[in-house]
C-alpha cells in the first residue's frame, strides 16, 4: 500500500531521497515527464502544452527528524550520539523512542537517566534535547564512528499499521498523506496542464515550494497537507482545529496565509455538490507550502486541502482512512470542476 510505503520511507528535511525514489517509481510511465530541480524538488508534468489554466499541486516530501552532531568520546558518554532537531520537534516527545540513522538505517534508542535517579524537581520538567542521547549500542566512540558520522540524519522508527475504526498510525503522515494524494492525482486525466510538485524543506520554512512555484508559475496552486487535529478529551470546539473523520479541512487563515476566499468557497461548494464531507480548519497556528507559493512572482491563486492528523510532528501520528479517501475525492472533484470552468480566474 502506497501510504504505508511512503510513511515508512526515510525523509527528514534535506534528506528526502528515499521518498523521492518511491514516488518516482510510482509515477514512472504515468506522467509525461518528471524532473528534479537543483533543490531536490521532484516535479511531475502532464499536458504541459494543453490550453487552460496551469494547475500546480503540491505535497512536501520531507518530515521532521534529527541530525547527529557529535559522537561522544571519553567518559560515561563514550559512543553515545548527540543530536539536534531537523524541523520543529517538541523535545518532550523524544525520550524513549527508537530511531533509524543515516543511509544504512542504523537503529538506536533515545535514552535518558531513569526516573528513579532523577531529583523530584527534575521529574517535573521536560528533558531538554541537549540532555538526551541516541544509543546505538556502541562500545565506544570508535565503534560508533564505524557506522555513524556527524551530519547523518535520523527518523523515528515507527511502523505503519491500521487499527481502530478505519484509522492508521505511522510516522510522517505530515505530509506523506499529501504525497500519496498527489501521486494518485497525477494519474487522473485533465484537459489543462497539471504540475505535481513533490517539494523539499517544508519543515524548515516552506523552502522547496517557493522555488518550485517560481519555476512552474502556475495560475492555480493547491497544497495537499496533513494538519493539526486535536479533537480529544477536554478540547473545546475552538481548540480542536479539525475533527477526526469529518473529512478534509480547508483553510481560512493560518500563520502564513489568509486564504483566497473565492477559491476556498469554490472548493467548499465543490465538496457539497459532490457529497464529500469537508470541514474548516479552525486554528490560526501552523502553515503549509501554500503560504510560500501564493507570494511568488505576481501572486498565485489557490489554497490547500488538509487531512486531519492527530499527534502531528510526534513519532506516532494517526489519520482516519476515510479522511484520506475523502481528501482524494475532493481533490479529484476540484480538478474536474476546474476543467468544467466552475472557477474563473
- Which residues are documented as binding site for Zn(2+)? 60, 174, 203, 225, 313
Cβ atoms of 246 and 280 closer than 8 Å: no
Closer residue to other proteins, CB minimum distance, 51 or 299: 299
Q: Could you say which of 51, 275, 298, 341 contacts other proteins (CB under 8 A)? A: 298
Catalytic hit among 63, 202, 337, 340: 202
Contact positions with Zn ion (CB under 5 A) in 149-178: 174-175
Mind giving me the DSSP string for 267-314? HHHHHHHTT---EEEB-SS---THHHHTTSTT--EEEEEEEEEETTTS
Q: Which stretch binds other proteins (CB under 8 A): 93-101, 169-177, 180-188, 275-283?
A: 275-283
Nearest distance from C-beta of residue 67 to other proteins, angstroms = 5
Number of H helices, E strands in the chain: 9, 17
* H or E segment and range at residue 101: strand 98-101
Nearest distance from C-beta of residue 178 to Zn ion, angstroms = 7
Cβ atoms of 285 and 310 closer than 8 Å: no
Q: How far apart are CA 199 and CA 277, in angstroms?
A: 27
The residue among 172, 169, 272 whose CA lies nearest residue 225 is 172
The residue among 40, 87, 90 whose CA lies nearest residue 65 is 87
Q: Which stretch binds other proteins (CB under 8 A): 51-59, 155-163, 169-177, 204-212?
A: 204-212
- Name the binder of 283 from Zn ion, other proteins, none, CB < 5-8 A by kind: other proteins
Extract the C-alpha cell encoding 112.
535518558
Contact positions with Zn ion (CB under 5 A) in 173-202: 174-175
Q: Does the protein bind other proteins through residue 140 (CB under 8 A)?
A: no
Cβ atoms of 328 and 248 closer than 8 Å: no
Q: At what angle do helices 321-339 and 173-185 cross, to 10 degrees?
A: 40
- Name the binder of 29 from other proteins, Zn ion, none, CB < 5-8 A by kind: none
Closer residue to other proteins, CB minimum distance, 101 or 212: 212
Q: What are the catalytic residues?
A: 202
Which residues contact Zn ion by CB under 5 A? 174-175
Which residues contact other proteins by CB under 8 A? 13-15, 17, 20, 35-42, 67, 69-70, 82, 84-86, 130, 150-151, 200-201, 204-205, 207-208, 210-212, 214-215, 236-239, 252-253, 258-261, 264, 280, 282-284, 294-295, 297-301
Amino acid at each position: 500500500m502506497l501510504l504505508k510505503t511512503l510513511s515508512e520511507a526515510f525523509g527528514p528535511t534535506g534528506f528526502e531521497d528515499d521518498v523521492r525514489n518511491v514516488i518516482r517509481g510510482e509515477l514512472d510511465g504515468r506522467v509525461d515527464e518528471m524532473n528534479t530541480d537543483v533543490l531536490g524538488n521532484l516535479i511531475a508534468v502532464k499536458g504541459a502544452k494543453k490550453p487552460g489554466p496551469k494547475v500546480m499541486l503540491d505535497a512536501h516530501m520531507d518530515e521532521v527528524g534529527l541530525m547527529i552532531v557529535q559522537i561522544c568520546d571519553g567518559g560515561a558518554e563514550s559512543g553515545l550520539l548527540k543530536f539536534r532537531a531537523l524541523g520543529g520537534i517538541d523535545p518532550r516527545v523524544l525520550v524513549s523512542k527508537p530511531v533509524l540513522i543515516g543511509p544504512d538505517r542504523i537503529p538506536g534508542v533515545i535514552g535518558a537517566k531513569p526516573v528513579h535517579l532523577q531529583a523530584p524537581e527534575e521529574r517535573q520538567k521536560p528533558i531538554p534535547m541537549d540532555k538526551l542521547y541516541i544509543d546505538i549500542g556502541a562500545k565506544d566512540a570508535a565503534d560508533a564512528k564505524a557506522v555513524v558520522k556527524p551530519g547523518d540524519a535520523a527518523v523515528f522508527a515507527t511502523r505503519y499499521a491500521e487499527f481502530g475504526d478505519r484509522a492508521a498510525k505511522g510516522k510522517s503522515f505530515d505530509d506523506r498523506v499529501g504525497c500519496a494524494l498527489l501521486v494518485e492525482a497525477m494519474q487522473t486525466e485533465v484537459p489543462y496542464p497539471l504540475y505535481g510538485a513533490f517539494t523539499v524543506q517544508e519543515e524548515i520554512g516552506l523552502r522547496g515550494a517557493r522555488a518550485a512555484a517560481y519555476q512552474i508559475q502556475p495560475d492555480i496552486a493547491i497544497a495537499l497537507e496533513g494538519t493539526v487535529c486535536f479533537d480529544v478529551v477536554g478540547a473545546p470546539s475552538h481548540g480542536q482545529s479539525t475533527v477526526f473523520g469529518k473529512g478534509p479541512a480547508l483553510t481560512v487563515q493560518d500563520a502564513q496565509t489568509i486564504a483566497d476566499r473565492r477559491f476556498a468557497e469554490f472548493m467548499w461548494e465543490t465538496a457539497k455538490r459532490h457529497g464529500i464531507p469537508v470541514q474548516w480548519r479552525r486554528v490560526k497556528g501552523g502553515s503549509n507550502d501554500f503560504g510560500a507559493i501564493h507570494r511568488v512572482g505576481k501572486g498565485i491563486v489557490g489554497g490547500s486541502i488538509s487531512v486531519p492528523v492527530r499527534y502531528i510532528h510526534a513519532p506516532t501520528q494517526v489519520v482516519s482512512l476515510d479522511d484520506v479517501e475523502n481528501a482524494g475525492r475532493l481533490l479529484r472533484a476540484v480538478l474536474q470542476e476546474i476543467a468544467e470552468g466552475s472557477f474563473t480566474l
